[in-house]
Structure 1
Amino acid sequence: MEKIQNLLKELWAKDDGTNIREHTDKLLENLQKLRDHYRKEIEELIPKCLPAKLKEKFWEILELACEYHDYGKIHCKFQEKLGNKSVKPIKGLPEVRHNLLSPVFVNVEDELIRKIVRLLVLHHHPVEVEEVSIESVERVLKEEFKFENNPIRFMLRKKEEDYLRDNVAKMFKIPVDGLIPYYRLLKGLLLRIDHSSSSKHAQDVEDIPPDDTLSFVDEFFRQKGSSPNQMQTFVRENRDKNLVIIAPTGAGKTEAGFIYIQKKGFFMLPYRVSANGIYMRAEGMFRNYAGLLHSSALSYVFEREEDREDIQNNQEGVAFLNYFLSRNFAKPIIISTPDQLMHFVFRYKGFEKYYATALYSRLVIDELQSYDPITLAFIVQGLEVLAQNGGKFLVMTATFPEFLRERFERMGVEFKTFNTQKKPYHHVQVIDDSIDNYVEKMIELSQKAKVLVVVNTVRKAIELKKKFKEAGLQNVKLLHSRFILKDRKEKEKEIMKFFNSQEKGLWITTQLAEVSLDLDADYLFTELSTADSLIQRIGRCNRKGQKPTNQPNVFIFTKDCSGVGPVYYKHLHESTLRNLKDGLWDWNFKWDLVEKVYSKSALYGTKYWEKFRKAENYIKSLWEGADSLIRSKSEAQDLFRDINAVQVIPEKFREKVESLIQEWEKAKGDFVRRAKLLSDILEYSFSLPAWSIRELEKQKIHDRLGIYYIEGDYNEDTGFVLKPTADTEEVENII
């Protein structure tokens, strides 16, 4: 063993010359951090049915796995691959992946502990049993390391959990339904520790967490001169339970979510724009404890930091480090989209890293109703897995899909509904006509009040803007998803400023208004959408309930609605229409409307129901032992995202973008600079559905960037206008 220890100090673990001993010591240091910060939370997850020995040895097993995980890197062929010239490879010797060799070096007397540690070490990188050449492994063991026997021959022939079941649980008479979750927890933590220790940018597995988020929320209320409301107090008193909270928009659900998190948690929102908004609030409350994580978080973090001293002093590294600490899950409070964590449900190789992190963190899921039926099934099944294994979550929503109630009740979740609106905020008039025929009425009201117009598609929004111009209203403001990022951000600032001012006027927008903007209009004119979407839209009018409701302030148009079919399920649209009424809509009516549209009996046999059930059954089969067809984290993430969206740049910005690409090329090796330049390039882009791209002239802006130049009309007033053959009213890409 002394010879091995010397080799660990001499030979490389990484191509930058970090030796194996240094890398291993970093893992052991991170293990200690994890234990210091979250020992209690993690130990509570160890299954109660296991023998006392395994409960007591949990941290020791994890430490042994960290110690031995990379011993196989002393293999001469691995050193050759890293470019270590001081090692002469043995001629004719096959190359064997280091994780297939590392388990052999595990030197532990206790047979049970040894088997678990070896299995963890073997599978800390994916292993496809059918592809392993046992003959090559044994040649290397014999010729390079002088092992006469191969102690892991049987382990190499069996799938990971099969070996655990047959060669550990049966042999040592350990309950398999306790041993598998125990092993998954160990493996997930090993992967977390290894991956963070290997990071080039942020090597801490965990940042120091706050003692409790409660003190920060209390300070927030003190500064506001207010106190927690009934709902926030309920969450505070029930933080040890899994909860579903149903309350109207503006009821203070965000603060309730922050209360629930305690020491470490993920606050998940359906859209990146919503996540950015909550991150601003979290950062204001928790300062450096908060991080942001979604597919374009780095661009947003740079933009947020630009006006600050750090960036002005050329300290982009500060923003960059914070981003990578979030990406490694080291930040205690992470605001994210579900695709960053919940993909563990697909049980691909290495899922345990995300599963274990979700288990010892608190999860807050906001606006559950916003997801399509397939993503919804993935999230609900993920929460069920976590509930079964000791995880904690809070679901907060304004409109809960009623058909999910029995599923959550089976998980032992406590439901609580809070009506913070003591009187109706909305007087609704349902109009059996097209919104196009009420342009004059909207113009008339916009002369004396703030009018918000919401339609179902971008095409409809652009058409309506033209109609207003023809009717004599020249300064018509428009916001939708086909503005380049640079213009869209300006428009979002402009619309927020308008609705917070004393100005009068009119804005046309799309679903963007539902999810990302806290607007407060005097009047809302909207095309009919589905119950959940409609209630979100209505919430953008008379938001605080301080305006009179003796006359209609919401007008819903039910004829010739755009987007029915491609954007909204036809049966949900029709079901919503059947249950509308004129007059005052209080919270109870809105709640009943959603209940009727999303009840099991209303959904049964529909496309929505079929998609949900198919996705739900697929995930259930994975957790009951079926092999996952999903092979990687990136494949799993794609299933959560709108993978049919493509990032595009209008041709008119080619010259500006080309000069940025040249700078990006020159900055090779400077990761921070390149990231900043990529962020600048993305300022000229927006997302389009992939099907519409097929109809357009396009060209990749660079071989290594999945962004395209596209032909088409673009101006900062209207945005990008698709030619008719490419615009078939597909779903608005609001993410």
Structure 2
Amino acid sequence: MFEKLLAKSATKTSAAQTIIEHTNHLINRWETFREIYPNALSKKDWDILLQAVKYHDLGKANTKFQNKVRTMEEHIVDLFPEIDEIPHNYLSCAFMPIKNLITQYGKEDAKILILAVYYHHERAEQNMYESGDEIEKDLQKYVPLLNGDFNIREEPKFDYRKFTDRKFLRNREHLYRFVRIKGLLNKLDYAASGNYEVEIPLDDLPQKMETYFSDKNRTRNKLQDYLYARQQDNHVVIASTGIGKTEAALWWLGDDKGIFTLPLKVSINAIYDRLINEIGCNKQNTGLLHSDMHAEYVKRVDEQDLDLITITHAKNLSMPLTVTTIDQIIDFVGLYPGFEMKLATLAYSKIIIDEIQMYSARLAAFIVLGLKYITDIGGKFLIMTATLPPLFIEALKRLEVPFEKREDPFLKFNGNNQPIQRHFMQIVEKDLTLEEILKHPMEQKVLIIVNTVTKAQQLYKEFEETGIKASLLHSRFISKHRQEKEDAILALGNKDCLKTGIWITTQLVEASVDIDFDILFTELSEASGLFQRMGRIYRTRDYVKNIPNIYVFTGDPLPSGIANNKKSVVDFTIFSKSKEVLLQYNNQLMDEKIKMEIVEQVYSREALGAECEYIQTFDETLAWYEDLLPYQEENKPTLRDIQNQLVIPYGVYRENEFEIENIKNELSKRLAWQTKINLLIELQKFTVPIATWAYDNARKRKNGEVTSTIRVDRYTEYPVVTYQYTEEFGLIFANDVDAFFQ
């Protein structure tokens, strides 16, 4: 017989770990977790969670598992070789003193505890009851080795089938109790197994905010005071661009765990840098989480090794403050097996959603339903936006999501205590062309925003042909060039920069990018997106001239930049209604309140009608997931509307072939994880994302072909495609359908 029962086998870098050692690691993290967030659970649920910790791995005390984690020399004779191995989480319940637990906690709470242990790993269930007698005899042998450390029953039994039926969780109150226990058990278990902290201690954000405001000689404005005084409420806040919404959100967070979401990675990186460099947040306490997070962390390590523990903490939402994309956290609404850890974390968190109107109809429906779950289970939320379609408010109210919304929006005021007027808008019912742009002075900071990459490239070429210097930014540049361009537009757009220049862009600069240009020429997409684009012009300045600084090109009759395909617009119904309403405000100064009124007029159900594709998708998604039963879906829902493939353009490959092949060869070697990540980041500098339909066309030799593939491992590869690419224009291919907003 074994003298010790193992939970984990030895590796090259760590010794074998016994069941009691592993359990104690979880208990230590349970204690630390409770110290940091004592209100995350009730006193009773903290105790139930502790019991789940103590019982969760006892099922590893069986011959098949013990032989699996030991060397051949340490194996014990298996008396039941004909029986398949049973997952240990199912066997753990056989050791649990069920009658005592029912006496101590009551039948309902005991059932939640047993369910949490039984399902703490999601595996295919097996009918162990058919061979229950044999397995009970095997487990019985290990009772003496467990008795000294655990409170178990003397005879393991398979008598808990009625306690493991997940139909019990169709009751929402039962589900939320289970999610807290099972989700936090997983959080503790993964942290102990991965040797990282389950939660990082709070960073005293309120004191950092006090110091930041004091150093800047600032006092809280009305919005910031409003949220500071109401930190325990959920809020929907409509406020002017440039009013200080980010600082207001941080005042609202106080000393609670926060998750700050934004729609675009470039704005997420900018907010993260502000938190570190201006607010004074600690890098070890502030998470950056999105699909390119490794590359962004590498840029910020000051020649030091990549801190893998920091990245692990960010990925597992273990930081007191994390800045992230919404798709990283909101997929739990699918209630798929394993969703519990994410929702359990959000149960004691505050989530900030910036510019909710930027999201697609499907993702917006996910967010609304996600806020229902988050508030039901105990979390808080703050929606901040300059414009809010009434559709969202209507949905939140119908789902009975509690929130506060002040009747009047928060407006930015000038030195005379009047609402700041930053924009004089002219509607032009023509296509946006170079000829139209050049009717106006170019010796200023000029921003041109169009709806497709192809249109942006076309305009750039025309500027080039006239000899007027302009810069181009869109999503189809390789990572290396795109980063250089993003840095350049941020530098010119800095309010203290006195230089002039012309930038042609797409949606990339539409939201939460802190740039301040003098004049905007833009194609109309829809009203809400237009106002986001306007927010990059005269961001914090009063506009006192009597000529437009915003020129909106609608096209006639189809949208500007669209030859003959209505589907290339985000929603033709919304475009048409936006154009109709905006024309009523042509050739006049627009304050923020007027913009908010326009949004109310455009985005109501009555205005858009039942045929609106956006409303149909929003309603259908909400209805499907609202009625979804727990564990009905097998997999996480896909939240990204356009799926991309990273590729290396053939011209980029030929120009950098030696470096790319050298990286590829290095990656084929056995490397330290830090080294591999750094090499991958270097390789990704040569990649560009394209829509999967475009990649499929290349594979079929339509408009290009795949010449070879740079394979990194069985999960990662970068096809080399013959789509034309230049550093000035980016990736070029003719068929731009489905490429709107890139």
TM-score normalised by length of structure 1 = 0.88
Match of 1:420 in 2: 412
Within a 5 Å distance, the mapping from 1:265-276 to structure 2 comes to 265-276=258-269
Write the letter of the residue equivalent to 2:86: V
Contact 1:439-1:468 at 8 Å conserved across structures:
no
CA, structure 1 residues 269+14, in 2 after alignment: closer, same or farther (shift >3 Å)? farther
Which of the numbers 74, 78, 101 marks the counterpart of 2:61? 74
User: Any stretches of 5+ residues in structure 2 without a counterpart?
Assistant: 144-153, 414-418, 699-704
Which of the numbers 711, 727, 733 marks the counterpart of 2:736? 727
C-alpha distance after superposition, 1:201-229 (max 9, x if no partner): x5110111134x22211111111111111
CA, structure 1 residues 626+331, in 2 after alignment: closer, same or farther (shift >3 Å)? closer
Q: How far apart are the structure 1 equivalents of 2:513 and 2:179?
A: 40
Match of 1:215 in 2: 207
Q: How far apart are the structure 2 equivalents of 1:326 and 1:283?
A: 15
Match of 1:527 in 2: 523
Q: How far apart are the structure 1 equivalents of 2:210 and 2:140?
A: 61
**Greater helix proportion:** 1
CA, structure 1 residues 245+516, in 2 after alignment: closer, same or farther (shift >3 Å)? closer
Question: 1:348, CA displacement in angstroms?
Answer: 0.9
Q: How far apart are the structure 2 equivalents of 1:150 and 1:562?
A: 72
Q: How far apart are the structure 2 equivalents of 1:570 and 1:39?
A: 50
Q: How far apart are the structure 1 equivalents of 2:19 and 2:441?
A: 72
Q: How far apart are the structure 1 equivalents of 2:101 and 2:317?
A: 34
Which of the numbers 231, 237, 247 marks the counterpart of 2:239? 247
Question: 1:431, CA displacement in angstroms?
Answer: 0.9
Q: Secondary structure at the match of 1:640?
A: coil
Match of 2:427 in 1: 430
Instruction: Find out whether 1:453 has 2:448 as its counterpart.
Output: yes
Question: 1:87, CA displacement in angstroms?
Answer: 2.2
Question: 1:730, CA displacement in angstroms?
Answer: 1.8
Q: How far apart are the structure 2 equivalents of 1:182 and 1:428?
A: 53
Q: Secondary structure at the match of 1:662?
A: helix
CA, structure 1 residues 177+343, in 2 after alignment: closer, same or farther (shift >3 Å)? closer
Question: 1:352, CA displacement in angstroms?
Answer: 1.3
Question: 1:626, CA displacement in angstroms?
Answer: 6.2
Instruction: Find out whether 1:683 has 2:685 as its counterpart.
Output: yes
Q: Secondary structure at the match of 1:57?
A: helix
Q: Secondary structure at the match of 2:504?
A: strand
C-alpha distance after superposition, 1:661-714 (max 9, x if no partner): 21122243x111111211111111121111111121124321431432211221
Which of the numbers 486, 489, 494 marks the counterpart of 2:483? 489
Contact 2:421-2:543 at 8 Å conserved across structures:
no
Instruction: Find out whether 1:111 has 2:80 as its counterpart.
Output: no
Match of 2:701 in 1: none
Q: Secondary structure at the match of 1:430?
A: strand
Write the letter of the residue equivalent to 1:611: T
Q: Secondary structure at the match of 2:236?
A: strand
Contact 1:525-1:554 at 8 Å conserved across structures:
yes
Contact 1:12-1:79 at 8 Å conserved across structures:
no
Match of 2:29 in 1: 30
Write the letter of the residue equivalent to 1:685: T
Q: Secondary structure at the match of 1:101?
A: helix
C-alpha distance after superposition, 1:489-525 (max 9, x if no partner): 1111112222333222311111112135322121111
Question: 1:565, CA displacement in angstroms?
Answer: 2.2
Q: Percent identity?
A: 32
Question: 1:719, CA displacement in angstroms?
Answer: 0.8
Match of 1:499 in 2: 493
Query: Please, what is the CA RMSD of the aligned residues?
Result: 2.4
Instruction: Find out whether 1:597 has 2:592 as its counterpart.
Output: no
Question: 1:432, CA displacement in angstroms?
Answer: 1.4
Contact 1:381-1:616 at 8 Å conserved across structures:
yes
Question: 1:133, CA displacement in angstroms?
Answer: 4.1
C-alpha distance after superposition, 1:303-346 (max 9, x if no partner): 122xx2xx3xxx414x3221111112221111111222221111
Contact 2:528-2:599 at 8 Å conserved across structures:
yes
Match of 2:150 in 1: none
TM-score normalised by length of structure 2 = 0.87
User: Any stretches of 5+ residues in structure 1 without a counterpart?
Assistant: 44-55, 166-175
Which range moves more in the overlay, 106-115 or 702-711?
106-115
Which of the numbers 622, 628, 634 marks the counterpart of 2:632? 628
Match of 1:173 in 2: none
Question: 1:143, CA displacement in angstroms?
Answer: 3.9
Q: How far apart are the structure 1 equivalents of 2:569 and 2:165?
A: 43
CA, structure 1 residues 337+132, in 2 after alignment: closer, same or farther (shift >3 Å)? farther
Q: How far apart are the structure 2 equivalents of 1:643 and 1:73?
A: 43
CA, structure 1 residues 397+411, in 2 after alignment: closer, same or farther (shift >3 Å)? same
Instruction: Find out whether 1:184 has 2:190 as its counterpart.
Output: no
C-alpha distance after superposition, 1:398-426 (max 9, x if no partner): 11111122333432211132011413211
CA, structure 1 residues 531+370, in 2 after alignment: closer, same or farther (shift >3 Å)? same
Q: How far apart are the structure 1 equivalents of 2:501 and 2:297?
A: 33
Contact 2:179-2:344 at 8 Å conserved across structures:
yes
Within a 5 Å distance, the mapping from 1:265-414 to structure 2 comes to 265-284=258-277, 285=279, 286-288=281-283, 289-305=285-301, 308=302, 311=303, 315-317=304-306, 319-409=307-397, 410-414=400-404
Q: Secondary structure at the match of 1:62?
A: helix
Contact 2:450-2:456 at 8 Å conserved across structures:
yes
Question: 1:57, CA displacement in angstroms?
Answer: 3.3
Match of 1:237 in 2: 229
Contact 2:7-2:19 at 8 Å conserved across structures:
yes
Within a 5 Å distance, the mapping from 1:474-485 to structure 2 comes to 475-485=469-479
Which of the numbers 179, 190, 193 marks the counterpart of 1:198? 193
C-alpha distance after superposition, 1:277-321 (max 9, x if no partner): 11111223222321111122121111122xx2xx3xxx414x322
Instruction: Find out whether 1:711 has 2:722 as its counterpart.
Output: yes
Q: Secondary structure at the match of 1:334?
A: strand
